[in-house]
Amino acid sequence: MNLAYNSDKRRYVRYELLDYAAMSVDGNDGSVNIVITDIGLGGIQIRSRHELISGTKCIVHVACMNGVTLELRGEIRHATSVPNSDLYSAGVRFIPENHQERMSVAEFVHQVFQRQADELAS
């Protein structure tokens, strides 16, 4: 498995991931199920069965190994339908509002990196 990759447009390295989460979207009640497919300090790539719209603010709810649920604020930067499927793909840029939220993003990305490094070592 490719641990990390970086496209020439990206500011931060992205780590491949396959993790389930939920996302609340501004203007909608409830949340939608998503799969996070990669993550970096700047944001995440997700898949969902619900149509996603660029420019929409959202909160990604991620259950961590320690039992805590992180709430990561973001904005959908681009969204497209995935050909030959009923899925939508979207890039979400993190938009933390304070130092604690920035630290939560950094700690979550570090946990993903550490988990992948541990899996490669075993």
The answer to whether the CB of 6 falls within 8 A of the CB of 15 is no
The answer to whether the CB of 17 falls within 8 A of the CB of 3 is no
Structure tokens at 10: 């990206």
Residue 12: its pLDDT value, please? 66
SS3 19: strand
Q: What is the CATH number of the domain that holds 16?
A: 2.40.10.220
Q: Looking at the predicted structure, is the pLDDT value of residue 7 above 70? A: no
The range of the structural domain enclosing residue 60 comes to 4-121
As a whole-number percent, the residues of the chain with pLDDT over 70 amount to 90
Chain segment 40-88, per-residue pLDDT in tens: 999 999 999 999 999 999 999 998 777 888 899 999 999 999 999 999 9
Residue 112: its pLDDT value, please? 84
Domains identified in the chain, total number = 1
Q: Where are the alpha helices (DSSP H) in the chain?
A: 99-121
Residue 1: its pLDDT value, please? 43
Give the predicted TM-score (pTM) of the model. Answer: 0.83
Mean pLDDT score of the chain, rounded to an integer?
86
Strand partners, 38: 16, 45
